[in-house]
Every structure is written in structure tokens, then in C-alpha cells.
Structure 1
């Protein structure tokens, strides 16, 4: 007979992960990869190309985009690790949905940063244009 004080332990059988956890994880990986390959990389390439063709008039904040992408990667991987270590399908599904939402948010951030940078740059350009116009017209 084993008591709490005798130090003996009965091995506990852990129940296996439900199939829904693996399905949710697989669907999440496919969706995040789709967002990465179908939206994030083409968008960043396009914005970088726009910056190159406008000779820097449209700024591309490379460092900020890189930091956001790396932080997003860490959060998405942590959410996937959380999802695949759960024993309830609902918890795993919530973590996977959050991972997909984070990947979409990370995809939107470069557009917002370029738009804000362009607006700031346009605000700097307008006084120069008006000054040149006044010099030209006398």
C-alpha cells in the first residue's frame, strides 16, 4: 500500500492530445505561412522598391520593420508552442487564431510606418516647394 508519506508514486497515464489540437496547429501554420508568403514579403518588397524608385522621397523604415517582424515572429512561435502543448482543442484554437491575427497585424505595420513617414516627409517638402515658387515668381 502506498501512502502520501511513503514516497512511492503511481505512474499517471497522461491522456493524449486530441486530434483537434493537431488540426488547429496545422491550419494555423498554413495560414501564417500564407500571410507571410502571400502578403508580408511581397508588400515589404513593393514598399522597398517604391523607396528605391523615388530616391528616398517615400521613406522605408527598415530598422522598425525588422524589429516588428522579429517581435511578431517570436510572439507567433510562442503562440504556436502554447497551442501545440495544450490538451484542449478550444485553448489550442484560440492560441492559433491569435497567432494568425498577430501575423496579419505584423503585415499591416510596414504600410502604416511608410504612410506616416511619407506624411512627415510631405510636410517637410511643402515649405521648400513654396519657397522655390516664390523665388521663381519673384
Structure 2
């Protein structure tokens, strides 16, 4: 019967973690409180990602359990409501711009290097003298 109690406790631990993280990543946090100014209403929008884990084990008739989790909320844009019309406006992530510039720069460098290698004389031919026919 003691083994069943451990299993029940482990299950409760995981359910408790899931509930607490679910509360943190609810719709009120993903869609922020509307802000109204001069006839325009703005509703902030965020992306939420969360995860959790837990476990338990026994060794030499001693048991233990633990768990943890986390929530990440990233702003992605806002909903603009004006004169009965609604539209979503995205917010560009500066980190994605840096990644695009870095990848583009690397691609340009490799392309230039390849073109230079194609049109430059081959090192093997430099040491050889060519006979005129």
C-alpha cells in the first residue's frame, strides 16, 4: 500500500505543477488589458510557451521527488481596433533581424569567395610552364 501512496503523491506533484503553470500562461496574460486612447483600442498580444517536469525515485528504501517548470512570454504584436475595424500589427523581434543579417553576411562572404576562386588562376598551374603550339 505504501507504493501506491508514492505513486499518488508523484501524480499530484505533476498535476500541481501543470495547474500552476497553466495559471501563469492564461489568456489574460497572452492578450493584455486593452488600452484606449483617442478612439483607438489596442490589445497587446504575446506568445506563451511553458513546460514542466517531475520525477521521483527510491534508493535503499528512501524516496524522493521533485519537479520544476517555467513559462516564457514574448510580445508578438497588438490588435488595433479603430472605427469598427480590427487588424493585427506584428512587432518585429530585434534578435531575428540580427540573425538574418548574420546569415546574409555569411552567404555573401561565401559567394564572393567562391566567385573569386572560380575566376582566379589555379595555384597548380602557376608552377608549370605552358608550351605554345
* TM range, smaller chain: 0.3 to 0.5
Greater RCO (Cα-Cα under 8 Å, separation 6 or more): 1
More helix by share: 1
TM-score, structure 1 normalization: 0.33
